[in-house]
Amino acid sequence: MNVYMDNNATTQVKPEVVEAMKPYFTEIYGNASSKFYSIGRRAEQELARLRESVAKNIGADKANEVYFTASGCEADNWAIKGAALANKSRGNHIITSKIEHHAVLNTCEYLEKHGFEVTYLDVDESGFVSPEAVEAAIKDSTVLISIMTANNEIGTIEPIKQIAEVAKKHKVLFHTDAVQAMGHMKIDVKELGVDMLSLSAHKFHGPKGVGALYIRNGVRIDNLIHGGGQERGKRAATENLAGIAGLAKALDLATESLEKNTAVMTEKRDKLISGIKERIPYIKLNGPEGEKRLCNNVNFSFRYIEGESILMMLDMYNIAASTGSACASGSLDPSHVLLAIGLPHEIAHGSLRLSVSEDTTDEEIEYVLDVLPQVIQRLRDMSPLYEEVKNKV
């Protein structure tokens, strides 16, 4: 059996999405900026239709509030750098959290090198950002708040609506990285009250390399890519019409089946969580339980062993998963998210993320619940730390 349980990293493109993309390679291949012949005008019309469809699915007032980008990272970079620079005359302070995606954190660090001041808010032991802490961090110089809708490692769903209210009360712009949330919970920009919102197609069964940034009309933001007049002159480059069609179709499917899909994913997630708890001792569930957890995310720390070793053993059983351990993060430190929720290094190193999709089967869940306890036991049997613990008991 081949089991893909890394849907927080990326997802399989749905066949309907591939079909929806095809005509834009072979038939409607005109440049949307070429208005003097029909195949160009056709591309322009299609682009407008797709933008309309995305806007409708995220609850935007107007289609022109949706800007297509080449990724979720790009949308995050644009929102933060663009809003910071455009509002520089009003202040230089930005508020974010310690558990944001690196697309947000590294962008903030970059801005710190260019005269901006950034507050990185702490989170509680489940990964929640408190709206009160956001409010307390606001100063006269604060121009932007960026807090993610849902965390990609431990699944925490943040109180975005409340934080948006705080931002609005203090007349500060509010951006949210909803890349992980899209397709896994209801996202309505008006209901959430956000000024900017990032999304990326490949996290909800669309193609890689295409994302979008919602920018509420009236938000001051600098242009991202300088060149032609595409995306209202804010992000030049000939539009990736096939990719945009894939994003729009994937979002359509995700929106249409949201209730059904989230119910399925929640059930699979909870089967994994309770099954692992029943079968394996010395573990810790990272992130919250219940409704405030992303419906497809499971993240456990297994004491006395290393996340990389778990992944390598799981790979031998053809199970694909992820870890917040150091080697995987490409540095000496384990995941910044696991450290921010207060895990000691040794426990953060033994983390495993399993993320399901609506296509995950019961057989796959059973297979993982069968294999994982064996893998953990075998690794623990080789662990000197575990040996000490056993001897003490």
Ligand X SMILES: *Cc1c(COP(=O)(O)O)cnc(C)c1O
Residue numbers at the binding site for ligand X (CB under 6 A) = 71-73, 76, 101, 103, 148, 152, 177, 179-180, 200, 202-203, 211
Q: Which is nearer to ligand X, 103 or 372 (CB)?
A: 103
Cβ-contact 235, 225 below 8 angstroms: yes
Cβ-contact 198, 72 below 8 angstroms: yes
Note if 73 is an active site residue.
Answer: no
Query: How far apart are the C-alpha atoms of 353 and 151, rounded to whole Å?
Result: 12
Q: Which is nearer to ligand X, 313 or 321 (CB)?
A: 321
Joined together, the tokens standing for residue 143 give 């121009």
Helix (H) or strand (E) holding 52: helix 38-57
| Closest CA relative to residue 133, chosen from 124, 291, 76, 125 | 124
Shortest reach from residue 37's CB to ligand X, in Å? 33
Cβ-contact 149, 156 below 8 angstroms: no
Q: Which is nearer to ligand X, 206 or 275 (CB)?
A: 206
**Which residues sit opposite 351 in a β-bridge?**
301
Query: How far apart are the C-alpha atoms of 296 and 269, rounded to whole Å?
Result: 6
- The catalytically annotated residue of 73, 108, 295, 327 is 327
Query: How far apart are the C-alpha atoms of 118 and 270, rounded to whole Å?
Result: 37
Residue nearest to ligand X (CB): 72
Query: How far apart are the C-alpha atoms of 222 and 67, rounded to whole Å?
Result: 13
Shortest reach from residue 103's CB to ligand X, in Å? 5
Shortest reach from residue 280's CB to ligand X, in Å? 27
Q: Which is nearer to ligand X, 111 or 178 (CB)?
A: 178
Shortest reach from residue 153's CB to ligand X, in Å? 9
Amino acid in the structure at residue 43: A
What are the CA-CA distances from residue 155 to residues 91, 252, 286, 348, 355 (Å)? 32, 23, 9, 16, 10
Shortest reach from residue 207's CB to ligand X, in Å? 10
Q: Which is nearer to ligand X, 155 or 334 (CB)?
A: 155
Shortest reach from residue 238's CB to ligand X, in Å? 19
Q: Which is nearer to ligand X, 90 or 208 (CB)?
A: 208
Rg (CA), the chain: 22
Task: Determine if residue 59 is left, alpha or beta; phi over 0 gives left, psi from -120 to 50 gives alpha, anything else beta.
Answer: left
DSSP string, 357-368: -TT--HHHHHHH
Cβ-contact 68, 219 below 8 angstroms: no
Q: Which residues participate in catalysis according to the annotation?
A: 327
